[in-house]
Structure 1
Amino acid sequence: MNGSTRARGRGFTLTELLIAVAIVAILATVAFPLYTQYSLRSHRAQAMTDLGTCAQALERHYTVNFTYVTAAVDPDDLPTPPNLCPQQSPQQNPRYNIRLSAVTANNFVLRALPIAGGAQAGDGVLELRADGQRLWYRNDDAATTTPQEGWDE
């Protein structure tokens, strides 16, 4: 073996390394927004499920008491009766507050409101009514008389 013989390198060249970094950067710019949208949709779906569970509990209460009003009366003045409905959705790391409103003997309105400043903020207010209407106020105010979309959108 001659001392002037150069050993062949076994590492990456700078060009190969830059190409790999560029590919990772492109994948990250595409994947992160998709992941964020998926996360928003999954938490919205969880809130829809929790509203449905709460509505079922209110219907069971109505079957026994023939009114929704007594379900809304709570000594701790909580937004929804804790023995019937969850207060937030999901229970761990909540994204929505669940509220019971417009309660009469024969009617109720359940709303899932995004927690202000949370990851779900700005995603819109979900609403479930006693007559089965499922509404989504995408502009996040729930103040208009016509919702922007139903839950199926």
Structure 2
Amino acid sequence: MYKKSSGFTLIELLIVVVIIGLITAVALPNYREYVMAGNRNAAKGDLLELQQWMERNYSLTNSYAVLPAGTALTTAQLPFNTTPRSSAKTNYNLSFTANPTSTAFTLQAVPVNGQVNDTTCSTLTLTSAGVRGATGSGGASTCWNK
């Protein structure tokens, strides 16, 4: 007589392992792309916020690169220079270019750490005229409209 045993056979376990492997092979690249797109959206939001900060500063000093009188610094510094602001892992470094007599500026978000693998949209830029730019294979229209 055969004794009924409980448990899984080796074939059943191998089938489960293959199914899990296939699901992982499909899902992991998609997950990484969504994470990079989310980080990119955070950087775009921060660039827009900094653009408004630059405009407020300009309305007080008539310059994008000078701070109002009475502040400890004389040249403008961004209120924050990384995205995200309060995390140990930085995805983008934020900076701007403007001379003290300038009536224009360019903000940029340069990818760092794991975000450098985002070849579709690398460095994001935003000017005082509202011109949005991006390096990478996606171009400005793709990167800013997603």
1:132 is aligned to 130
Is 1:119 the equivalent of 2:114?
Answer: yes
* Shift of residue 75, structure 1, vs aligned partner: 5.4
Aligned match for 2:84, one of 90, 102, 121: 90
* Shift of residue 101, structure 1, vs aligned partner: 1.0
2:22 aligned partner, one-letter code = I
Per-residue deviation, residues 85-127 of structure 1 (Å, max 9, x unmatched): 3111112111111011144531100000112xx1011431000
TM-score (norm 1): 0.78
- The count of aligned residue pairs is 134
Segments of 5+ residues of structure 2 without an aligned counterpart are: none
Contact preservation (8 Å) 1:50, 1:86: no
Q: After TM superposition, which residue ranges in structure 1, 4 or more long, deviate above 4 angstroms?
A: 74-77
Aligned pairs for 1:40-51 within 5 A? 40-51=36-47
Q: Matched residues in 1 for 2:140 and 2:105: separation? A: 20
Q: Matched residues in 2 for 1:35 and 1:29: separation? A: 11
Moved more, 97-106 or 49-58: 97-106
Per-residue deviation, residues 8-36 of structure 1 (Å, max 9, x unmatched): 11111111111100000000101110111
Aligned match for 2:95, one of 93, 99, 114: 99
Larger Rg: 1
Q: Matched residues in 2 for 1:26 and 1:102: separation? A: 51
* Shift of residue 6, structure 1, vs aligned partner: 3.3
Segments of 5+ residues of structure 1 without an aligned counterpart are: 140-146
> Which has the larger share of helix?
2
Contact preservation (8 Å) 2:64, 2:98: no
TM-score (norm 2): 0.81
